[in-house]
Structures are given as C-alpha cells and as structure tokens.
Amino acid sequence: MVKISSFNVNGIRAAQRKGFTDWVAQTDPDIICLQELRALEHQVPKKIKKLPYHEAYHTAEKKGYSGVGILSKEKPVRVEAGIGVDWIDEEGRVLMAEYSDLIVFSIYAPSGTTGDERQDLKMEFLDHFLPFAQKYLSGDKPVVFCGDFNICHTSIDIHNPKQNKNTSGFLPEEREWVTRLLETGYEDVYRRLHEGETDLYSWWSYRAASKDRNKGWRIDYHMGSPELLDAAEDAVIEMEWDLSDHAPVTITYSL
Amino acid sequence: MVKISSFNVNGIRAAQRKGFTDWVAQTDPDIICLQELRALEHQVPKKIKKLPYHEAYHTAEKKGYSGVGILSKEKPVRVEAGIGVDWIDEEGRVLMAEYSDLIVFSIYAPSGTTGDERQDLKMEFLDHFLPFAQKYLSGDKPVVFCGDFNICHTSIDIHNPKQNKNTSGFLPEEREWVTRLLETGYEDVYRRLHEGETDLYSWWSYRAASKDRNKGWRIDYHMGSPELLDAAEDAVIEMEWDLSDHAPVTITYSL
DNA sequence: CCTTCTAAG
DNA sequence: CTTACAAGG
C-alpha cells in the first residue's frame, strides 16, 4: 500500500505555522507532493526537515515564489528537477522522484489569473507538459503526476460553471487540454473513484468565506497511468484541515 | 483636570487590532498625542474615527510611514502641522493643537538606528526643534511637547547604559540635547514626578522578550512648560497594555 | 483574503 | 520581532 498526498501548501512556512506536521503525523502519507512552497530550501521549517521523510525540492529562483517538493518515506532511486524549458525550470514547477516500482511527479502549473501574459505562459507550460507526460506512459513503471494544474476539468469540478466560463482556470481551451491529457492515457484518479459526485473541490478562495460555504474549484489532481487507477483503493480530499487555501488530495494505491 | 496621554502606537491599524479603543475607553484621556500612525488619514480605523474625540493628523507623504495625530474631547481653537522644514514636514513629525488654556504638541523625532544618514537627519531635526520649542515658552498659555523623542536622557532611563553608550538614542550628543531642552525651561514632567526611580521605561524591543524582562528605554516624554509641572498630579506609564512596542505615558494636570 | 518580499523601526 | 508596502495568487 502506498498512500500519496498532493498538497498545494500556499507557503510551506505559513502551513507549518498552522500545523503542517500535525497533518503529516495524522494522515501519515508514504509520499507527499508539495506545491507552492514559496520558500528556498534553507527556509523550509526545521520541524519539516526533521520528519522521517526523504526530501527533494525544486525551488524557484525568485524568493518567496512557487517551488515544488516531494517528501517520501522511501528514498528515491532518482530525482529529476525541471522539464527542460528555462523559464519553467527557473520557476520551480516540475519535480520527479523515481522509486523501485513507481514514478511520482509534483507539478505546479502557472496561474493565469494575473493577466494575459501569464495566461499565455500557462498555455505554453501546458503545451510543453503534454509530450513530456506522454513519454512516461511507455516506461516500465507506473507514473503519477500529482499537483495543482490550475484547471477545473468539467462543470461538476467548479461551484459556479456559468459565471466562470471566461475565467482563467475554467476556459474552454484549458478544459480541453485536460481532456487531451486523459486521451493520451492518463487517468484523473480522484474523479474515477468519485464519478459524477458533486461538490468535491480542492481549492477555495480566501475571500468571502468560500470554504465555509464550499464554493470551491477542483484543480489539484493525481493524473496516473492506467495501472495506478487499477491500484487506487481510496481517494479523499482532506478539507477538514485548514493549512492552506488548497486541501490535500490523498489516494491510497495497492502497490 | 486634564488627562493627557502620549502614545507611539507603532501603526494605528495594528494597535486597533490589539484593542486601542479599549484602552481609550478605560484610560479616558482628555487629549491623546499619537505618534507613528503608519497610516494615511483615510486608513485610520473606523472605530477610532467614531470615538467622541476631535481628530487632527499630520501624516507622512510616504505610505505606511511615521505620522502624528492629536485626539481631544475639546475642539482645538487652532491646529498647526509641521515645523517649517520641508523634509521634516513631509515625514509628519510635528503637530500642534491649541485649546482655550493649553497648547499641546505631538512629536515624533526621527530614529537614527538605521544608519549614519538618518542619524544626521535626527540631529538636524533636534537642532530645528530647540529654537522652535523655545519660542512657545514666551507665550501666554502653558505648552507641552508630548512624544517619542527617540532619546534616553540619563543612565536610569535605560536598562543597560554601559552597553548602549555608542547606540543611537543614548549617544552623548543626544543626551546633552535633552539637557539643553530642559535648560531652556522645559520640564521632563514624568521624571520630575518620579525623581530617581529606576526601571521606568516606555519602550521595549520586540526582540528577546524585552518587555517581559522589563529591559526597556524611556524615550517618550511630556516636555512641559513650568506651569504644567506645577499642575501635574499623577504620571503613569501604562505598561499593562500591549498595543505597541511603546506604552502610553499618561499625566493628569490640574488645569 | 493571504503569503511572501522589502524597508523601516 | 513587528509594521507597513507591493507583487503574486
């Protein structure tokens, strides 16, 4: 059994102030894919560095910005940072850890909410991502891309689809991109274990008490190779924790 | 009876979050001299604007920086901002309110702790201040300069005089400046009511739990004309409130 | 609304 | 250590 959590912490230091390590102790994942660390490696809180986990980080060059990490009980046999595109790799958005029988990625897609320029770069990231992800499907280990893709796929993944049809994160071209990722062979594991279920979100705006009213978006995914869908036994969004504006998405795989 | 408080709030918005208006309600001063508002007038919290006090402000041009104010139950007959020196007046450091039988100033002297350039400007401020203050002694109303002068006068005004003899705020030239202000005829009213008493401070560094250990500096004063010393009945530093790194210095005058 | 950064104290 | 700002989300 391998329990994997994907968690956009919105600042690992802020999350730790709110009890990140309490969450780790209670959920006890085998692998934790972190996004939006907003810290350099030396700024990661000591309590996290002292956890009984191996650590790998890919931080942004810009201080306090972006950054991904993977914590795991098992030591990875190989770690790789980046996707091979300079501007993306300078932003710390892609990190891979390979284990004896599994490959895990932590992914943080750019947000496009701050304007056209960033939206264009988000689409550029997505365009690079598709062939990058595809090549791992022909490998001999199951692979899962965990992370914040900053896209809701379908109408049931967002609380107000009509109002947001022109909002970055729910644009037709973004939603189609998720469809294409699924068509290449990846599975949205959480959704496949909760087909048709509504009101399941992984992010809530800090404004307007959105989480209290469950007015959220599902933008954090486990995009797994088919073997992993077969292995998936339990998939939960841990919205009882208030460590971030995102909730951890935790899936247990019988591997 | 006129109760006057001098209070460096270290950000009026932060102070209000910690209960500034509760302090006003409990202490119930007639006049409140505020320093380090760190806000423009429209940013002053609504709860403060709604107090049964007349308000006068002299804010810095730079957002979130410096700024002084005077709140009073009685409406001033005249309010004057500044000292007539451009750079000082742009920083919002001097404000006068004249009442029927009293003139009150709120003063915030520059800090010199950030380097030589600011220390030089602090001394320049002090040099302008002396003749400015002197001319109010020949007027026909008692006058008090309340505020944060950013100087400890004597060894008993600071918890560690030896270590700080080369520190801005306790430099010989600064301490001599206070002596000169007293020689021109002003009285350090709080000290005159607590002659020789030790461990009386008005500011504690936020670092190293200084306030818990009462490792402080007395840098906030009522510098009053002689009639006010005669009228002073009770002088307290209200260190039981934790609204700022400074405590209010509150003196009751029989006027 | 929240988390960073930096400047200022 | 704390308050502001500004950028980013």
Q: What integer pLDDT is reported at residue B52 of this predicted model?
A: 98
CATH of domain A2-253: 3.60.10.10
Q: Residue A206: which nucleotide is closest by CA–C1'?
A: C1
Which has the closest alpha carbon to B234: B254, B209, B212? B254
Instruction: Reply yes or no on whether B221 is catalytic.
Output: no
* B153-184 per-position pLDDT tens digit: 999 999 999 999 999 999 999 999 999 999 99
Question: Helix (H, G, I), strand (E, B), or coil: what is residue A63?
Answer: coil
Digit-coded pLDDT (tens) for B9-40: 999 999 999 999 999 999 999 999 999 999 99
- Half-sphere CA count of A87, side-chain side, radius 13 A: 9
Q: Give the per-residue pLDDT at B82.
A: 98
Note the pLDDT of residue A113. Answer: 96
Cβ of A14 near strand C (distance < 7 A): yes
Arithmetic mean of pLDDT over chain B: 97
Q: Is B101 a catalytic residue?
A: no
- Of all nucleotides in the shown strands, which has a C1' nearest the CA of B205? D1
pLDDT at B78: 98
Please indicate if the annotation marks B159 as binding a ligand: no
Is the minimum distance from the CB of B65 to strand C below 7 Å?
A: yes
Instruction: For residue range A188-231, list pLDDT tens digits in order.
Output: 999 999 999 999 999 999 999 999 999 999 999 999 999 999 99
In the prediction, which pLDDT does A51 show? 98
Task: Scan residues 22-41 of chain B and list those with Cβ within 7 Å of strand C.
Answer: 36
Residue A121 pLDDT: 97
Q: Which residue is nearest to nucleotide C2 (CA to C1')?
A: A206
Q: What is the distance in angstroms measured between the alpha-carbon CA of A110 and the sugar C1' of D9?
A: 10
State the pLDDT at residue A103.
Answer: 98
Nucleotide nearest to A207 (CA to C1'): C1
* Helices B116-137, B172-183: inter-axial angle, 10-degree rounding: 10
Fill in the amino acid letter for B121.
Answer: L
- Residues of A belonging to the active site: 108, 148, 246
In chain A, positions 63-82 with C-beta closer than 7 Å to nucleic chain C are 63-64
Which residues make beta-bridge pairs with A103?
A98, A143
Distance A232 CA to D9 C1' (A): 32
Instruction: Note the pLDDT of residue A167.
Output: 96
- Nucleotide in closest CA–C1' contact with B8: C9
The active-site residue out of B53, B57, B99, B108 is B108
Å between CA of B228 and C1' of C2: 49
Residue ranges in chain A assigned as alpha helix (H): 12-17, 20-27, 46-49, 86-90, 116-137, 172-183, 189-192, 226-231
Compute, in degrees rounded to 10, the torsion defined by CA atoms B215, B219, B222, B226. Answer: 100
> B87 beta carbon < 7 A from strand C?
no
* Mean pLDDT, range B214-220, rounded to an integer: 97
Nucleotides of C under 7 A from a protein CB: 1-6, 8-9
Question: What's the pLDDT score for residue B185?
Answer: 98
The pLDDT score that the predictor gives to residue B103 is: 98
Instruction: Look up residue A92 and give its DSSP letter.
Output: -
Q: How far is CA B126 from the centre of its chain?
A: 14
Instruction: Give per-residue pLDDT as tens, B79-131.
Output: 999 999 999 999 999 999 999 999 999 999 999 999 999 999 999 999 999 99
Sorting pLDDT into bands at 50, 70 and 90, what band is B206? very high
Query: A237 and A201 in contact (C-beta within 8 Å)?
Result: yes
Where do the structural domains in chain A lie, given as residue ranges? 2-253
Q: CA–CA distance from B106 to each of A48, A212, B55, B97, B103 (Å)?
A: 48, 45, 12, 9, 10
Banded pLDDT at B238 (limits 50, 70, 90): very high
Contact A167, A119 (CB under 8 A): no
Rounded CA separation B255/B250 (Å) = 15
**pLDDT at residue number A2:** 98
Position B126 scores a pLDDT of 98
